[in-house]
Amino acid sequence: MIEQDLKELWDIDLSDSVLGAVEDANGVNFRTRLDLTRRYFNAGVLLLNLDRFRQVGLIKKVTRYLESNRERILCHDQDILNGLFNDQYKEIPLKWNVNNIMYRPTIDMKHIYSDQDAIVARKNPGIIHFTGNKPWHWGWIPHPLADEYWKYLKYTEFYSCAKRDFALSKIMPVHVAWIKSNFKEAMNKLENYFSL
């Protein structure tokens, strides 16, 4: 959910970095699993340097990395992007990817963000990223900003067909099957896009 003017995000200078991202709240564990040297970033909100993406030959690198690390990849594109660009990304301010863990008072995030960074991001988020418990999933712990999500959705043409999902377990296998059956086609489309 976008809460601030994206111009500030857009204007962040990435210099020679391939992308800009916020550290993932579970990054300490994920970094170890992938043997990464730097912090593990969350791929839910990315600021991309498209010139650098085109230069690095993204599609071939993704395919090679996936084939070499298939057994270690749990977080799909996020793991792959971290594996490929962990030393080529710029950390952007936390407010541009405020996810669910930021609203859990029992989680100790001192190893990730300073208390001040977390307070500022929670009070004045740029983008709220619904990770884990989504506002449209019933039966999960409700997100503290779920009502705001539904309020904004009412202003769209999608509100009339929006349903709260009672059965996430029925949806996930469909997504996985679609990804498996369309992976090569999607990679070809991406390769064409990034080779412009």
pTM of the predicted model, to two decimals?
0.76
Q: Give the Cα separation of 57 and 139 in Å (integer).
A: 43
Q: Pick 1-132's CATH classification: 3.90.550.10, 1.10.630.10, 3.20.20.70, 3.40.640.10.
A: 3.90.550.10
Q: Closest Cα partner for 88 from 23, 25, 20, 42?
A: 20
What residue spans define the domains of the chain?
1-132
The answer for residues whose C-beta is within 8 angstroms of residue 171's C-beta and 6 or more apart is 165
The 10s digit of each residue's pLDDT in 35-71 is: 888 889 999 999 999 988 888 888 888 889 888 988 8
Q: Give the Cα separation of 132 and 156 in Å (integer).
A: 23
The 10s digit of each residue's pLDDT in 124-181 is: 999 999 887 777 776 556 677 888 888 888 888 877 777 655 444 444 554 555 555 6
